[in-house]
């Protein structure tokens, strides 16, 4: 194998790894958005069902439930924001050979990953608050 073939294979491998990473990130952001959205819908369904039965316990837990719902909504926003930031980071990374585009891509991708972690954190906090709302 000549050096030229080796270089082409290396470039092709890096491109393949980059595309796989993009797919993994997209799936992660979708998951965070879906999990938080499903939790919010489930909480709303529970509130509606409990309210229609006239339960007294719901009034006592209303503040905690409200806080849990806010966490889930912000989790959805974080997941959507991470998706947008990841897309922009990939766009600048693929379409710009200039150093400032690569720097911008790296910063956007870093923010996207932080947004993903924030979305997971919001889900965890919202879940814990929802569980303790009824104890």
Would you list the domain boundaries of the chain? 3-132
Q: By the 8 A CB rule, do 64 and 133 touch?
A: yes
pLDDT at 11 over 90: no
Q: By the 8 A CB rule, do 58 and 67 touch?
A: no
Mean of pLDDT values over 75-86: 91
| Distance, C-alpha 24 to centroid of its chain | 12
Residue entry with tokens 């000549």 = 2
Region of poorest pLDDT, from 17-26, 76-85, 90-99? 90-99
**Which tens digit of pLDDT belongs to each residue from 16-74?**
777 777 788 888 888 999 999 999 998 888 877 777 777 666 666 677 788 999 999 99
pLDDT value at position 73? 94
Enter the tokens of residue 70.
Answer: 């806010």
Kindly calculate the radius of gyration of the chain based on its CA atoms and give it in whole angstroms.
21
Mean of pLDDT values over 5-16: 79
pLDDT value at position 56? 65
Using alpha carbons, select from 114, 115, 90 the residue that is nearest to residue 104: 90
Entry pTM:
0.77
- CB-side neighbour CA atoms (13 Å) of 76: 12
CA dist., res. 58 & res. 75, Å (int): 23
pLDDT value at position 97? 60
Mean of pLDDT values over 104-110: 86
pLDDT value at position 118? 96
């Amino acid at each position: 194998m000549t050096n030229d073939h080796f270089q082409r294979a290396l470039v092709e491998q890096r491109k393949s790894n980059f595309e796989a990473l993009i797919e993994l990130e997209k799936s992660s952001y979708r998951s965070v958005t879906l999990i938080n959205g499903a939790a919010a819908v489930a909480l709303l369904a529970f509130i509606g069902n409990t309210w229609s039965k006239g339960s007294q316990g719901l009034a006592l837990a209303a503040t905690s439930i409200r806080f849990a719902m806010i966490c889930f909504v912000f989790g959805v926003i974080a997941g959507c924001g991470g998706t947008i930031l990841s897309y922009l980071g990939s766009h600048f990374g693929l379409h710009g050979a200039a150093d400032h585009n690569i720097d911008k891509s790296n910063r956007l991708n870093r923010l996207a990953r932080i947004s993903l972690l924030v979305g997971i954190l919001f889900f965890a906090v919202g879940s814990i608050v929802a569980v303790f709302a009824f104890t």
